[in-house]
Structure 1
């Protein structure tokens, strides 16, 4: 809801150096300016500029993504102990539930696990991603150029399908590496539903948005696929080696 409401603000107003407001001056206009300058270097190739800027932004938030994955791994390690505590304090009376919370926090502290650490990177990324969306939609120069087979300022029919496909692959990879989620039937069912709902929703939206925005989504999703594979392989290898040593 926050993403949709933020995306609706001032979308119909072109972004310029004269645009007022902290949001425009600190986030949106600098990104728009960078897109324009990079495009000028590559003979006004705004499509290539969007790809470069998208990859650069994704690289900036890689440390946050690594932290998020590590937090998820840490939560997986304490799951057995948390389940034991839940069985021990399964009664629903107030005193038992209070004891359950105390024991849960104790386990979290002993293993240096913060359940909110996995959510923090998402909130940090949101302003960057929304600003990129605004910069693409509100930069008038983008709509005047084409890239590959499509016009950047008009909806395309191929990119939305690619967007949905790569969104599905990305979510599928993330689900396959989250063993804690697979161990919880309720969460697994919810995530499986999102696995299909999210790609369909984004595909439908992409059919109505300018192709430049769909290009941004496709590039970001492809980057996230490679990132997920590259980050999880070393971590899974470390966990495997640690298990052999034990």
Structure 2
């Protein structure tokens, strides 16, 4: 969930910056290929670029799926190891808090790091690779839509792809809340309380960004949220016995 917040915040900052130059590396390597891909997939549906965006979204999520499943597996393994390590970690943390000088704290901290290594537990969250990959994809999709006259001029369902749409914005926010809620159900009881605020933060940010963005962006997010619900179900079935 925290990764989603980082992704949305990064995206918001980047989308408020300058558009890429048409002869620049980012446009040539990502924006133009995305535009061509949307048009290519749309050609199978009587030139519907909305359906092209849907298929691009599914393709992106399928490419990310092995990485995301592997990240879930590592997270569950780490949670199991953390349960085993918790008594030793708690004891050393109490000793660190009660330490009288910096030298004693440093020695106890080194012992704590040894415990992390012993149980193969990382105190840092290293699952940022999907964020790094998704951010340029979202940026490329955004600029592919806004800088392509053919895509921007077309409508899909009830909305224009290049104009903000309140209904599509609310659908994306609702689906992200549902996805967050399902993710919340799979969390250990020990972490649910501290993660509860995240149930609302990501949908609110989705709605805020969508309010100022082409309707194609919440369309992308809506399809992605549906796919992530499937992904969470699949990962739970595959790794539910890992502790």
Does the TM-score normalized on the shorter chain lie above 0.5? Answer: yes
CA RMSD of aligned residues (A): 2.4
Q: Quick one: structure 1 residues 102 and 136, their matched pair in 2 at CA, closer, same or farther if it must change by over 3 Å?
A: farther
Which secondary structure state, in structure 1, belongs to the residue aligned with residue 196 of structure 2? helix
Other structure's SS at 2:204 match: helix
Are positions 1:105 and 2:113 aligned together?
yes
Q: 1:80-135, CA deviations, whole angstroms, 9 ceiling, x for partnerless residues?
A: 31453232342334344434443343344344444443233333332223322332
Give unmatched runs, 5+ long, in structure 2. 1-8
Give the distance between the partners of 1:219 and 1:230, measured in 2 at CA.
17
| 2:203 paired with 1:195 | no
Deviation of 1:29 (Å): 1.6
Structure 1 position 138 matched with structure 2 position 150: no
Q: Does 1:9 align with 2:17?
A: yes
**Greater displacement, 110-119 / 222-231:** 110-119
Indicate if the aligned counterparts of 1:39 and 1:46 stay in contact, CA closer than 8 A.
yes
Cα distance in 1 between the residues matched to 2:179 and 2:207:
14
Post-superposition CA distance 1:32-66 (Å, at most 9, x none): 11112222332210000000001100111112211
Counterpart of 1:196 in 2: which secondary structure?
helix
For residue 223 of structure 1, report the CA deviation from its aligned partner: 0.8
Equivalent in the alignment of 1:50: 53
* TM-score normalised over the length of structure 2: 0.82
The yes-or-no answer on 1:153 pairing with 2:162 is yes
How big is the shift at 1:150? 1.9
Q: How many residues align?
A: 229
Indicate the residue corresponding to 1:213 in structure 2.
Answer: 217
1:170 to 174, 179, 199: 179
